[in-house]
Structure 1
Amino acid sequence: MSDHQTTTDGAWAPDSCTLPTAERPLRVAEFDQFFAAAVRGVDRPSAQHLRLQLDGSAQVEETARDLTARESSCCSFFAFDLSRSGPDALALDVRVPAAHVDVLDALADRAVSVRDQG
């Protein structure tokens, strides 16, 4: 059995997500906007680890902190870590347990797809 469900627009949500179904398209749209505006690179250090290289602006950092805090509250299996290695270098590391690799795969695919379209 799959750990995520696919909707007609290609968006996914893990079965364990507690975000109300009616709010999910809004959250997907928020992430899409963030991916299009902020993601500069996508790395996959391991199957359970995704690293998004982000625009280093203060606004991007604020948006990333807000989105990841809200996502963690409904999908507690995500571990997000936002870090700076310099004034213009911001990275968002996303980790999941092995049971949720397919959800991380979908998130990585979405980030690349939206970034490439923007």
Structure 2
Amino acid sequence: MSTSENLWVPSACTLPTVEQPLRAAEFEQLFARSVQAVRRVDPITLDLTIASTAEAEARDLARREIACCAFFTFDFLPADDDALVLRIGVPVSATYTAVLDAVQARALTAQAGGQRM
């Protein structure tokens, strides 16, 4: 899900290196189109409120991400009629917290860019 400069990919990730930028781009597109709010629940949990219309896309990305980065957890929680919460979790570890920090930064950047449109 990432590149070495932004810590999206720890050594535990099994996604082939050539595919990592493509996966990161998929997440960034989802974030830019769908993220309505970003909230860090605690050091190992990130909540992204996303448009309900993006649920199928988000579930597909989550399923594929877990296949290569089994340390992630993705839960989908109800928010309201037009949104849901994508809760992303990682194990307690400085490495994984740094990965979640990078995801949060990307979501915030994409959200800000999407709001300017």
Please give the range of the TM-score, normalised by the shorter of the 2 chains.
Answer: 0.7 to 0.9
Question: What residue number does 2:83 align with?
Answer: 89
Q: Partner amino acid for 1:85?
A: A
Q: Structure 1 residue 16 and structure 2 residue 12: aligned?
A: yes
Task: Indicate the SS of the match to 1:14.
Answer: coil
Q: 2:56 aligns with which of 56, 62, 68?
A: 62
| TM norm structure 1 | 0.87
After superposition, the C-alpha distances for 1:86-113 in whole angstroms (9 at most, x for unaligned) are: 3212110011111111110111011101
Q: CA RMSD in A?
A: 1.6
Question: What residue number does 1:6 align with?
Answer: 4
**1:37 and 1:85 mapped to 2: Cα distance?**
17
**2:103 and 2:80 mapped to 1: Cα distance?**
26
Question: What residue number does 1:117 align with?
Answer: 113
Q: Partner amino acid for 1:79?
A: T
Figure out how many residues of one structure are paired with residues of the other and give that number: 111
Q: What is the CA-CA distance between 1:5 and the residue it aligns to?
A: 5.9
Structure 2 gaps, min length 5: none
Query: Could you tell me the percent identity over the aligned residues?
Result: 43
Structure 1 gaps, min length 5: none
